[in-house]
Structure 1
């Protein structure tokens, strides 16, 4: 695929990537602004649907709402796997039942995680029920290579998979809403969310400055 501006299609010039998706190229802030209405509707890599202003959704405790069902399953799996990795990285302790703890089958541990999420019902979309829960577990048991519970992930792999430098942070912040804390010391999650929400201001210019290095 030719390296060209996604808006004006110019080639052979200095192009910069949108830092949100890490793939779309623009030659200028004006071209990025012109493409914003359609580009904001593009989902991150690895997901079927987009979610506009994810930190606002986190603030409203609706980060999993308004998403395709399979995306909700993928994100629950990845939030669990991210947290299991963080326990080792920041606390030096492997959670019993996790891959990091030597478990051959992490499914029981993942089910405990889902129970913790269900204890905060406002975090789950209204359609969630026992049938959907089993569909989520099934994806982790035998879904695509990325979503398998038996495959541990690290932050850099999450960023690469979704093409979004902030995605590991989003997973961690959702995990904090579930458990009331994060492994290690990341500060106050609510303050982090408020700061990131300011970068989600409706102004295209603000968005452009946040997501393109011009």
Structure 2
């Protein structure tokens, strides 16, 4: 389902490379934060052979909590403790962005209606984790 249509203009495409711009509504920031983690875990498995969370048949929540804490300095300045609590509550109950379900690049791009969203989330997550995929 294409819930976030994106036109092909250069500005729109570039906005997908900055997935946490300050003008994005809170719920979308929460969703993208969860999706960044889900995509990172899948990428670690596919590209690095690392089994983390679901891929290690473990509860993904403890690793997600660590990820959110690392991500704080890379999120919009309005993201505060109450937002962290909200995203941690949302991460297991959201219809789409649920850490208990794996996601792949094509799922992300299809969901956001952009071929650039997965790339943007990956670039952002590399800043958060300090790790390159390859």
TM range (shorter): 0.7 to 0.9
Please identify the structure whose Cα radius of gyration is greater: 1
Question: Which residue of the partner structure matches residue 91 of structure 1?
Answer: 48
Give the alignment's TM-score, normalised by structure 1.
Answer: 0.54
- Displacement after TM superposition at 1:181 (Å): 2.6
1:175 to 125, 129, 134: 125
Give ranges in structure 2 of 5+ residues lacking alignment. Answer: 6-10
Give ranges in structure 1 of 5+ residues lacking alignment. Answer: 1-22, 24-42, 46-50, 185-214
**Please, what is the CA RMSD of the aligned residues?**
2.1
CA deviations over 1:21-60 (Å, ceiling 9, x no partner): xx8xxxxxxxxxxxxxxxxxxx725xxxxx95426x74xx
CA deviations over 1:140-163 (Å, ceiling 9, x no partner): 12122x111101101111111112
Q: Distance in 2 between matches of 1:175 and 1:77?
A: 11
Q: Distance in 2 between matches of 1:65 and 1:99?
A: 31
- Displacement after TM superposition at 1:139 (Å): 1.2
Question: Which residue of the partner structure matches residue 100 of structure 1?
Answer: 55
Verify the 8 A CA contact 1:172 1:182 in the aligned structure 2.
no
If asked which structure has higher relative contact order (CA below 8 Å, sep 6+), I would say 2
Residue 44 in structure 1 maps to residue 44 in structure 2: no
Residue 151 in structure 1 maps to residue 101 in structure 2: yes
Question: Which residue of the partner structure matches residue 54 of structure 1?
Answer: 15
Give the alignment's TM-score, normalised by structure 2.
Answer: 0.84
